[in-house]
A = this chain, B = another copy of it.
């Protein structure tokens, strides 16, 4: 307490920081954490400030320098080199020696007598020498004291000694820190593997891997699809739940309440006589088949992501084994899912407010650990916003303590605060409102929020143009051009994106009924077999877009997004660049799926490192066409019937030694 009273330095507004340090910020391995703070003291003394950082499991801090910006704002940075958890803080103290040097310079410049001042400096060095004690530094400092006080040196020589760079460096390392202030509490960084920041998802129902809708597809069948999915450039293959499906109140085709014989039911009605969340639907195959499929997928550079849907069918083993985990009604029945007056009788929600909640939590954790045991490292979590935040915080923390490589994607399409809080408590990635953001104004506003506001420190967007639950009006009405536009938007606005695959690549756009976002003949309730080689398939475009993403680092991150003016409301223009400007990707999309549009766009040439006077090349990575532009204003035109987007790489002109120009 008394030590605190003697601190002269104030540290405020440390960034990044989430809710006063209650939650960590997120990074992936290899990234820099740029830390800033307001740091100041009373009076006019100079300060010394350092950024402190360490892995959470380490005991002692490493230090990085901090430099003043303007208005008492300081900045430093450190690199997170491995996955797991890092901590950081900021410290600062009054630097008496640097202050003395600064004032000495001013006094010397004014021609003042410095003899007493030099003795004051010698005393500061002497003090540092004593605290450095027997070490070599102490010896060196002691010599410096002697020279500063030496009467045989001229004033000029002694001034030179006082301001000597080596002495400055020695003092910076040896000087005691008088009553340093340390920001509190230490702030945390969750460091993920790179796939947390850059991933390309393909969602599919394995049971539809069949040429005959009467025959349930299997994991073995899925193996045959892996080469094509990999060739399209996906690296995460996400399966809806693969567990046994309940028979009581099973839903029929098109969500009818009465299933007919042979109806396969919804994979989200988890659990039957064959088992629950740790079992595999017998028609899909065995656990060995699943592991074999996952291994083969890895061979193609793809990871399988499983669906974590914490809910039960009436036939789930837990209903008998743990009736206390469900809500019981006065008539003896178990409460099924409802959104009054709607009823979902094929689903029993878990009752998190039950008295045996701790056993429930542990069992749910065992589910995750079981699948980790099968080699799974990515989970897409179904409706996390209907289970308590505290549960997720506990679960994700528990899992990541031993398995920091595990990623969780939150499928919460709900209110903004709720989505943000799920990201804060630990979800690695989050579904977003991108699905329904269609106009230039909507996209611009939303992506500025996602990529430039404080929420980006913890919420990583994963963009989905469609899901098995959501066939948007834009896709329904816009048809194939709309699918192309939404693909390019998702894949270039976000480093993480995914499609509900076969339905997307085949541009399936028929709703259950007008005004509905449900698919007609939805795969949620039936097996769908399709001609994946249909000529209108977007497979080639998807493969191109994903190749462009892999080949251009600028598209593998979110924060570098910038929008540019273009004088047509139906055209949107934005860029992403690497920090060194080696790669500048410029995207233009025609948002109107029905009409050709053209416009003049305006580029910030200087910020792109381009010369106002020289031409530069626009290389369309989709069409391989190349255009020569010069100046900031240029013309584009896009026909949605052909392709509604350009993904340009801007290439600067480079002159070789042999006087031969080319575009880099």
Contacts and interface: CB of A to CB of B under 8 A. Distances in A.
A545 to B, nearest CB: 34
Contacts of A388: 6-8, 41-42
A43 B6 contact: no
Interface of A: 2, 4-8, 10, 12, 19-20, 38, 40-44, 71-72, 103, 106-107, 109-110, 112, 116, 119-120, 123, 178, 329-331, 333, 338-341, 352-353, 357-358, 385-391, 394, 415-418, 421
Given A38-B417, A357-B6, A340 B116 contact: no
B19 A12 contact: yes
A119 B328 CA distance: 12
A506 B306 CA distance: 82
A341 B110 contact: yes
Given A4-B390, A12-B417, A42-B386, 17 more contacts: A5-B390, A5-B391, A6-B388, A8-B389, A8-B390, A10-B389, A12-B19, A38-B417, A40-B418, A42-B385, A44-B339, A72-B417, A72-B418, A107-B341, A110-B341, A112-B341, A120-B329
The 3 closest A-B pairs by CB, nearest first: A110-B341, A119-B330, A20-B20
Contacts of A418: 40, 42, 72
A235 to B, nearest CB: 31
Contacts of A391: 5
Name the residue among A6, A107, A340, A385 with the largest chain B CB count within 10 angstroms.
A340
Contacts of A40: 415, 417-418, 421
B416 A71 contact: yes
A196 B528 CA distance: 74
A106 B12 contact: no
Nearest to A116: B331
Contacts of A7: 388, 390
Nearest to A331: B116
A178 B417 CA distance: 22
Given A20-B20, A390-B5, A71 B109 contact: no
B417 A71 contact: yes
A388 B7 CA distance: 8
Contacts of A340: 103, 106-107, 110
A42 B385 CA distance: 5
B103 A330 contact: no
19 contacts: A6-B353, A6-B357, A7-B390, A10-B389, A10-B417, A10-B421, A12-B19, A12-B417, A40-B417, A42-B388, A72-B418, A103-B338, A103-B340, A106-B341, A107-B340, A107-B341, A120-B330, A123-B330, A178-B353
Contact of A43 (B44, B330, B357, B385): B385
A534 B233 CA distance: 88
A5 B394 contact: yes
Contacts of A38: 417
A42 B381 CA distance: 14
A149 B19 CA distance: 47
A415 B68 CA distance: 14
Contact of A330 (B6, B110, B116, B394): B116
A212 to B, nearest CB: 41
A71 B420 CA distance: 12
A571 to B, nearest CB: 31
Nearest to A385: B42
Contacts of A358: 2
Nearest to A17: B20
A421 B331 CA distance: 63
